[in-house]
């Protein structure tokens, strides 16, 4: 987290992104987002609009997308707010990328539950495939970031790749997911453990077993 | 009114007070970094922890906790002591131990509070976080590694200055305070963040490594860079004033001063007149005082004397010059150098009657021909407060960036006679409507029309006077009280063709109109006025003489002398006294005390500190018309409005960098 930084402002950056504007589809979307908030409070729309802009940049560059300075200035103009407030928001939340990323942004959770369940192996597997923390691979496919808790502790370890979480990973399962992504397929999101659907206890329920089939009143048994 | 108990002392606190304020009322000191009386509450430094019952059994941040009835607050319990020690320890984890090379050393909140509330040693072994320096312009020096993220500077720029320039990027330990893309902070009050910063992260760039606070002699003084009369403190060492800081005065400047007031200080040692000069054969040549007075005696003007006063002059000097002119038999006195000739028969009509503190209670403000941000930055902070409370602001004149929601009514003054319906309704419906008439409006002769507006909208009512004239010169109100105003303005002086024109540091006068007069310039800077002078008598700047100043709201304030004038320069009144001898007249005082007593006898209001009473507003003149267009304002360059600022390297750089967009290479460190 500490190594986050803004992509420096340069003439090339201005030349590439200075004329950023919503696509036709996004014009309507942005309008709808701003309309969610009371008139005069349009600033509240800064976070969804930054997300929308990041996605549009992603679509244009065939990556997850990021937020160049001219794009943030565009959002500031759209919402009639000081640019520094936009940059504050964008730099605070790690899901806004401040520098260019690859096609797939692999965010490995390294917080305690994931670490105990083997996130070190996951990171090692990523590194074996040529990724390095905070860098984009040369072919522009992968960007690796270690992040803090994503709230998937019950199915640790996990990675988040663009919009999907992949959980219950081992090095092999991760490889399978990444191979599928590289091949242009859409691997199943969520848990990768066979037989598990979401974050239910592995091997069947351990508590409230009577409740599985039908509603059961436990109060008499207390 | 909730009743609380602080450390066993039962007190009643105003409704809406916080626990921190309750503790202060009870006389307890609460350490704090992020809390500031004049900024919104952030609650992010956690230094103000106290124990509060009823409530959770843990320390509470008192700055953000409302005081409630029957609260029992403890500021002296072991829990509080431990909590403060803990917070101090956290704050110091990443704070460098560079106090010996830090400009804040000796006046640092963090340093003081560490001594008072911290542990005796550090337990951390880890490396400290380092943050790169951020460029914030020519006035603010940054050492961001020292920053403790109190966000006072961010809140100041947003709330008081009204220009969102400073922000906190990133998060947690990696938070960095910066301006957008490290551009220079451009607001004319921006340097107040230096005072607000509780550590040495934001310090004064021109003052860097100049002195330690304990070496400095502190002198109470009054700012002369504009007509607000901000209360300042001059910090001097030896014969040099090293820096200027604001003093707290809620009636005038709260605790802010403009960047010009703060940083024109280096102009006090540059381009100074330190010996008399005489024009011989068209060329100025250094002379002795004797020679200078001999030359003055040779002029032998008889009654043909006129005095024009500059913008920075104190009342004593003006009074002494007036006495001299009177003794010679002349009453040609003028202070409005640029030719303004508004009617001064009733000073209430040219006074800021609402008062600087009062204007923030206005709920509809009409500004006529004033670029308030540059002409009186302190008034702008008040207007921002008013606007935040819902006041509507209308401006007649060229558009400028007001930092508040504003309706511009065009540049043509005719609009005053027939205001748009919504504006009329806003002024009619307002409980405390106000009008501010600035220099550009006075220049176009809008005073009469504004007085008519004042009657039409009843700006003066029970407990409220909303008629205001905003001046730009520190000497203006004092000058008007002493009679430095001719009916036709300075044109009357030109018409009289005086043999001798005494110029009291007047640098904005068009001296080519006085081509046949002998010009005696009594001033402190070799500025425009001195170039036209025939005889230059070196005088003292505002820091080098005691003086009385009257600000635009008619507040009489006294300034003290911090240092001696350089070289052969003398205090102005002594020069005028000696001139009287040279010219063979008597002006009736031999000491400064006698001068002050004579002045107080002549104009009693000048003998009392505080607001002068000018009586009721006059009736609007019949058939007063508002005509003309306000396409520009008198101040073209905020940073270079007076001879001291023009001589200051800092102000010159501000002007070229912040206003004219030049860039300066930073020296590598």
CB atoms within 10 A of CB A38: 8
DSSP string, chain A: -TT--PPPP-HHHHHHHTT----HHHHHHHHHHHHTS-TT-GGGGHHHHHHHHHHHHHHHHTSS----HHHHHHHHHHHT--HHHHHHHHHHSTTS-SS---SEEEEEE-SHHHHHTTHHHHHHHHHHTT--BT-B-TTS-EEEEEES--S-GGG-S-EEETTEEEES--HHHHHHHHHHHHTT--PPPEE-STT--SSSPTTS-SS-GGGTTS----GGG-
Residues 6+ apart with CB under 8 A from B116: B31
Task: Give the residue on A whose Cα is nearest the Cα of B167.
Answer: A84
Neighbour-count burial for B332-353, b at 16+ CB within 10 Å, e otherwise = bbbbbbebbbbebeebbbbbbb
Confidence of residue B669 (pLDDT cuts 50, 70, 90): very low
Q: Do A91 and B164 count as a contact with CB atoms less than 8 A apart?
A: no
Q: Which residues of A touch B129 (CB under 8 A)?
A: 2
Selection from B405, B378, B371, B377 nearest residue B390 by Cα: B405
Q: Give the pLDDT confidence score for residue B665 in this predicted structure.
A: 63
Lowest-pLDDT choice from A70-84, B173-187, B366-380, B472-486 = B173-187
Average pLDDT over residues B253-265: 95
Question: Which residue in B167, B173, B174, B179 has the most chain A C-beta atoms within 10 A of its own C-beta, making it the best mutation to test that interface?
Answer: B167
Q: Which residue has the tokens 């504050």?
A: A88
CB proximity B166 to A under 8 Å = yes
Q: Do A92 and B171 count as a contact with CB atoms less than 8 A apart?
A: yes
Q: What is the pLDDT of residues B6-15, one digit of tens each?
A: 999 999 999 9
Q: What is the pLDDT of residues B115-145, one digit of tens each?
A: 999 998 889 899 999 999 999 999 999 999 9
CB proximity A14 to B under 8 Å = no
Q: Where are the alpha helices (DSSP H) in B537-605?
A: 572-583, 592-602
A137 φ/ψ angles, rounded to the nearest 5 degrees: -65, 160
CA of A116 vs chain B CAs: smallest distance (Å): 24
Average pLDDT over residues B493-501: 95
Q: Where are the alpha helices (DSSP H) in B209-309?
A: 259-263, 289-299
Q: Which residues of A touch B172 (CB under 8 A)?
A: 1
Q: What is the mean pLDDT of chain A?
A: 92
Residues 6+ apart with CB under 8 A from B293: B578, B579, B581, B582
Q: What is the pLDDT of residues B622-637, one digit of tens each?
A: 888 888 899 999 999 9
CB proximity B131 to A under 8 Å = no
Q: Do A88 and B179 count as a contact with CB atoms less than 8 A apart?
A: no
Picking from A9, A91, A92, the nearest residue to B181 by CB comes out as: A9
CB proximity A6 to B under 8 Å = yes
Q: Do A9 and B164 count as a contact with CB atoms less than 8 A apart?
A: no
Q: Which residues of A touch B180 (CB under 8 A)?
A: 83-84, 87
Q: Do B166 and A83 count as a contact with CB atoms less than 8 A apart?
A: no
Rounded Cα distance, B261 and B232, in Å: 9
Selection from B215, B218, B191 nearest residue B205 by Cα: B191
Average pLDDT over residues B146-174: 93
Picking from A2, A82, A87, the nearest residue to B174 by CB comes out as: A2
> Is it the case that residue A2 has pLDDT exceeding 60?
no
Q: What is the pLDDT of residues A56-99, one digit of tens each?
A: 999 999 999 999 999 999 999 999 999 999 999 999 998 999 99
Q: Do B165 and A2 count as a contact with CB atoms less than 8 A apart?
A: no
> What is the three-class DSSP state of B612?
coil
Q: Which token pair is A150?
A: 């994503």
Confidence of residue A1 (pLDDT cuts 50, 70, 90): very low
Q: Do B173 and A9 count as a contact with CB atoms less than 8 A apart?
A: no
Picking from A2, A9, A88, the nearest residue to B169 by CB comes out as: A88
Rounded Cα distance, B576 and B501, in Å: 13
Q: Do A91 and B170 count as a contact with CB atoms less than 8 A apart?
A: yes
Question: Which residue in A79, A83, A89, A91 has the most chain B C-beta atoms within 10 A of its own C-beta, making it the best mutation to test that interface?
Answer: A91
Q: Which residue has the tokens 């760039």?
A: B205
DSSP state of B373: H
Q: Give the pLDDT confidence score for residue B586 in this predicted structure.
A: 93
Q: Which residues of B touch A2 (CB under 8 A)?
A: 129, 173-174
Q: Which token pair is B186?
A: 């451009």
Q: Which residues of B touch A11 (CB under 8 A)?
A: none
Q: What is the pLDDT of residues B581-625, one digit of tens each?
A: 999 999 999 999 999 999 999 999 999 999 999 999 999 888 888
CB proximity A4 to B under 8 Å = yes
Task: Give the residue on B whose Cα is nearest the Cα of A5.
Answer: B170
CB proximity B665 to A under 8 Å = no
CB proximity B159 to A under 8 Å = no
CA of A211 vs chain B CAs: smallest distance (Å): 38
Q: What is the pLDDT of residues B39-88, one digit of tens each?
A: 999 999 999 999 998 889 999 999 999 999 999 999 999 999 999 999 99
For residue A34, CA distances in Å to A41, A58, A86, A168 come to 9, 21, 15, 38
> Is it the case that residue B265 has pLDDT exceeding 50?
yes
> Is it the case that residue B454 has pLDDT exceeding 60?
yes
Confidence of residue B240 (pLDDT cuts 50, 70, 90): very high
Average pLDDT over residues B522-527: 95
Picking from A1, A6, A83, the nearest residue to B174 by CB comes out as: A1
Q: What is the mean pLDDT of chain B?
A: 94
Q: What is the pLDDT of residues B213-236, one digit of tens each?
A: 999 999 999 999 999 999 999 999
Q: Do B170 and A83 count as a contact with CB atoms less than 8 A apart?
A: no
Q: Where are the alpha helices (DSSP H) in B329-376?
A: 372-375
Rounded to whole angstroms, the maximal C-alpha distance in chain A is 74
Picking from B165, B167, B171, the nearest residue to A87 by CB comes out as: B167
Q: Which residues of A touch B185 (CB under 8 A)?
A: none
Q: Give the pLDDT confidence score for residue B623 in this predicted structure.
A: 81
ipTM, two decimals: 0.88
Residues 46..75 of A with a Cβ closer than 8 Å to B: which? 69
Question: Which residue in A10, A13, A81, A88 has the most chain B C-beta atoms within 10 A of its own C-beta, making it the best mutation to test that interface?
Answer: A88
Q: Do B171 and A83 count as a contact with CB atoms less than 8 A apart?
A: no
Average pLDDT over residues A181-195: 91
Q: What is the pLDDT of residues B301-358, one digit of tens each?
A: 999 999 999 999 999 999 999 999 999 999 999 999 999 999 999 999 999 999 999 9
Q: What is the pLDDT of residues B381-435, one digit of tens each?
A: 999 999 999 999 999 999 999 999 999 999 999 999 889 999 999 999 999 999 9
Question: Which residue in B132, B144, B162, B180 has the most chain A C-beta atoms within 10 A of its own C-beta, making it the best mutation to test that interface?
Answer: B180
Q: How much of chain B, in percent, has pLDDT values that exceed 90?
A: 92
CB proximity B172 to A under 8 Å = yes
Q: Give the pLDDT confidence score for residue B662 in this predicted structure.
A: 79
Beta carbon pairs, A and B, within 8 Å: 34
> Is it the case that residue B172 has pLDDT exceeding 70?
yes
CB proximity A41 to B under 8 Å = no
Picking from A2, A84, A92, the nearest residue to B180 by CB comes out as: A84
CB proximity B169 to A under 8 Å = yes
> Is it the case that residue B279 has pLDDT exceeding 80?
yes
CB proximity B190 to A under 8 Å = no
Confidence of residue B666 (pLDDT cuts 50, 70, 90): low
Q: Do B171 and A91 count as a contact with CB atoms less than 8 A apart?
A: yes
Between strands B140-142 and B176-179, the pairing is: unpaired
Q: Give the pLDDT confidence score for residue B295 in this predicted structure.
A: 95
Q: Do A2 and B173 count as a contact with CB atoms less than 8 A apart?
A: yes
Q: Do A83 and B168 count as a contact with CB atoms less than 8 A apart?
A: no
Q: Which token pair is B102?
A: 């830090």
Residue B433: strand pairing partners: B364
Give all domains of chain A, ordered by start, each with its CATH number: 11-92 (no CATH), 104-191 (3.40.30.10)
CB proximity B130 to A under 8 Å = no
Q: Do B171 and A85 count as a contact with CB atoms less than 8 A apart?
A: no
Q: Do A4 and B168 count as a contact with CB atoms less than 8 A apart?
A: no
Confidence of residue B368 (pLDDT cuts 50, 70, 90): very high
CB proximity B180 to A under 8 Å = yes
């Amino acid at each position: 987290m500490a190594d986050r930084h803004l992509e420096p402002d340069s003439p090339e950056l201005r030349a590439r992104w200075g004329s950023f504007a919503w696509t036709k589809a996004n014009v309507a979307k942005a309008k709808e987002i701003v309309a969610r908030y009371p008139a005069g409070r349009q600033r509240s729309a800064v976070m969804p609009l930054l997300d929308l802009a990041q996605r549009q940049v992603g679509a244009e560059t065939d990556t997850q997308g990021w937020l160049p300075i001219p794009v943030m200035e565009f959002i500031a103009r759209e919402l009639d707010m000081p640019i520094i407030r936009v940059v504050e928001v964008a730099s605070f939340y790690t899901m806004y990328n401040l520098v260019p990323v690859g096609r797939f942004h692999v965010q490995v959770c390294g917080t305690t539950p994931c670490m105990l369940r083997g996130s070190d192996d996951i990171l090692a597997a990523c590194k074996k495939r040529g990724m390095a923390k905070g860098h984009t691979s040369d072919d522009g496919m992968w960007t690796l970031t270690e992040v803090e808790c994503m709230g998937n502790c019950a199915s640790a370890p996990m990675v988040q790749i663009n919009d999907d979480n992949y959980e219950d990973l081992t090095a092999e399962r991760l490889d399978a997911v990444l191979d599928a992504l590289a091949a242009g397929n859409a691997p199943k999101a969520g848990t990768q453990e066979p037989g598990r659907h979401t974050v239910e206890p592995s091997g069947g329920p351990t508590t409230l077993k009577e409740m599985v089939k039908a509603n059961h009143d436990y109060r008499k048994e207390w | 009114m909730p009743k609380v108990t602080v450390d066993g002392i039962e007190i009643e606190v105003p409704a809406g007070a916080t626990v921190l304020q309750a503790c202060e009322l009870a006389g307890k000191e609460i350490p704090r970094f992020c809390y500031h009386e004049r900024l919104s509450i952030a609650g992010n430094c956690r230094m103000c922890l106290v124990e509060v019952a009823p409530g959770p059994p843990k320390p509470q941040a008192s700055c953000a906790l409302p005081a409630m009835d029957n609260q029992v607050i403890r500021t002296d319990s072991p829990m509080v002591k431990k909590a403060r020690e803990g917070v101090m320890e956290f704050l110091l984890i990443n704070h460098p131990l560079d106090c010996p090379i830090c400009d804040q050393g000796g006046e640092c909140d963090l340093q003081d509070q560490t001594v008072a509330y911290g542990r005796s040693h550090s337990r951390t072994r880890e490396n400290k976080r380092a943050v790169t320096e951020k460029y914030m312009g020519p006035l603010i020096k940054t050492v961001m590694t020292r920053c403790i993220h109190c966000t006072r500077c961010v809140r100041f720029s947003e709330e008081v200055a009204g220009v969102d320039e400073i922000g906190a990027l990133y998060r947690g330990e990696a938070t960095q305070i910066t301006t957008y893309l490290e551009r220079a902070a451009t607001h004319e009050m921006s340097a107040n963040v230096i005072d607000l910063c509780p550590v040495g992260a934001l310090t004064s760039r021109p003052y860097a490594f100049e002195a330690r606070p304990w070496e400095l002699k502190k002198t109470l003084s009054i700012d002369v860079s504009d007509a607000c009369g901000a209360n300042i403190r001059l910090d001097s060492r030896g014969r040099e004033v090293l820096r200027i800081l604001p003093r707290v005065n809620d009636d005038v400047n709260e605790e802010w001063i403009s960047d010009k007031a703060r940083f024109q200080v280096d102009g006090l040692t540059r381009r100074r007149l330190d010996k008399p000069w005489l024009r011989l054969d068209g060329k100025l040549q250094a002379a002795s005082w004797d020679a200078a007075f001999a030359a003055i005696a040779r002029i032998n003007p008889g009654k043909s004397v006129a005095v024009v006063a500059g913008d920075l002059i104190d009342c004593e000097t003006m009074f002494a010059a007036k006495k001299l002119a009177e003794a010679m038999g002349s009453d040609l006195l003028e202070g409005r150098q640029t030719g303004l000739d508004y009617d001064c028969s009733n000073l209430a009509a040219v006074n800021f009657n609402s008062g600087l503190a009062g204007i923030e209670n206005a709920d509809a403000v009409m500004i006529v021909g004033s670029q308030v941000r540059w002409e009186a930055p302190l008034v702008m902070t008040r207007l921002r407060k008013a606007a935040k409370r819902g006041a509507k602001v209308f401006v007649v004149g060229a558009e400028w960036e007001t930092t508040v929601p504003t309706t511009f009514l065009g540049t043509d003054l005719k609009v005053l006679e027939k205001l748009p319906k919504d504006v009329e309704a806003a002024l009619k419906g307002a409980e405390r409507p106000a009008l501010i008439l600035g220099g550009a409006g006075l220049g176009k002769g809008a005073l009469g029309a504004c007085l008519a507006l004042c009657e039409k909208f009843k700006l003066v009512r029970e407990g409220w006077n909303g008629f205001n004239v905003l001046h730009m010169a520190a000497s203006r109100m004092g000058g008007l009280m002493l009679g430095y105003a001719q009916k036709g303005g300075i044109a009357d002086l030109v018409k009289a063709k005086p043999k001798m024109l005494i110029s009291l540091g007047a640098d904005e006068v068009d001296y080519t109109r006085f081509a046949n007069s002998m010009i005696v310039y009594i001033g402190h800077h070799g500025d425009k006025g001195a170039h036209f002078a025939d005889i230059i008598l070196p005088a003292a700047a505002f820091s080098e003489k005691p003086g009385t100043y009257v600000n635009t709201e008619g507040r009489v304030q006294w300034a003290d002398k911090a240092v001696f004038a350089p070289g052969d320069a003398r205090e102005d009144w002594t020069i005028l006294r000696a001139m009287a001898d040279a010219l063979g007249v008597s002006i009736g005082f031999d000491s400064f005390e006698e001068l002050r007593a004579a002045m107080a006898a002549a104009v009693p209001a000048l003998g009392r500190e505080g607001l002068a009473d000018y009586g009721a507003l006059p009736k609007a003149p019949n058939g007063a018309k508002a005509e003309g267009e306000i396409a520009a304002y008198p101040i073209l360059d905020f940073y270079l409005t007076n001879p001291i600022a023009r001589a200051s390297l800092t102000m010159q750089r501000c002007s070229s960098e912040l206003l004219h967009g030049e860039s300066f290479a930073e020296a590598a460190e």
